[in-house]
Amino acid sequence: MTEYEKMKAGLCYRFDAEILEKMYRGHELADAFNQTAARDGKTRTELLLKLLDAPEDICIEPPFHCDFGENIHVGHHFFANFGCIILDGADVTIGDRVLFGPNVSIYTAEHVTNAERRAAGDQFTRPVTIGDDTWIGGSAVILSGVTIGSRSVVAAGSVVVHDVPDDVLVAGNPARVIKKL
């Protein structure tokens, strides 16, 4: 297995030339997207379609940052406000009609807790999944391995460390269920 294949499989991996090359491609496309004029929707859409696995009916407001882009799978009518960050070493799957407030961050990457292994560069990833019709409030952070259910709401500023069921409002750090919707 290559280091990239290990990364995608959630196994312990270390950065190598292949991973860096794929990451540079993602960064370059995101940088180009972030430099587009506000009125140039056609160019923005073209760049997003090169960067992400997404339909044409999505809207992301710059700046947008990701590691690879190719591991981000987005459904129809997705909207992300300014300042979205998605570290997509593992797959990030976002359903239809999902809304992100400003500065939402998703992190699939983790470092090992053993200091010696961490110093040697060992790390791993876990996928993130967000169901249909979900709203993630501004400055929320979604950590690796989390699944957020359909029709749920993550309150602004929350840090989601555990799975979220369908049809609930979660808030806090760590996020917890506040009420059923």
What domains are defined for the chain? 3-180 (2.160.10.10)
Query: Active-site positions?
Result: 111
What crossing angle do the helices spanning 41-51 and 17-34 adopt, rounded to 10°? 170
Confidence at residue 120, expressed as pLDDT on a 0 to 100 scale: 92
Q: For residues 98 and 135, is the Cβ–Cβ distance under 8 A?
A: yes
Task: Provide the whole-model pTM.
Answer: 0.96
> pLDDT tens digits, the chain, 181 residues: what are they?
999 999 999 999 999 999 999 999 999 999 999 999 988 989 999 999 999 999 999 999 999 999 999 999 999 999 999 999 999 999 999 999 999 999 999 999 999 999 999 999 999 999 999 999 999 999 999 999 999 999 999 999 999 999 999 999 999 999 999 999 9
- One DSSP character per residue, 111-180 reads E-SSHHHHHTT-EEE--EEE-TT-EE-TT-EE-TT-EE-TT-EE-TT-EE-S-B-TTEEEEETTEEEEEE
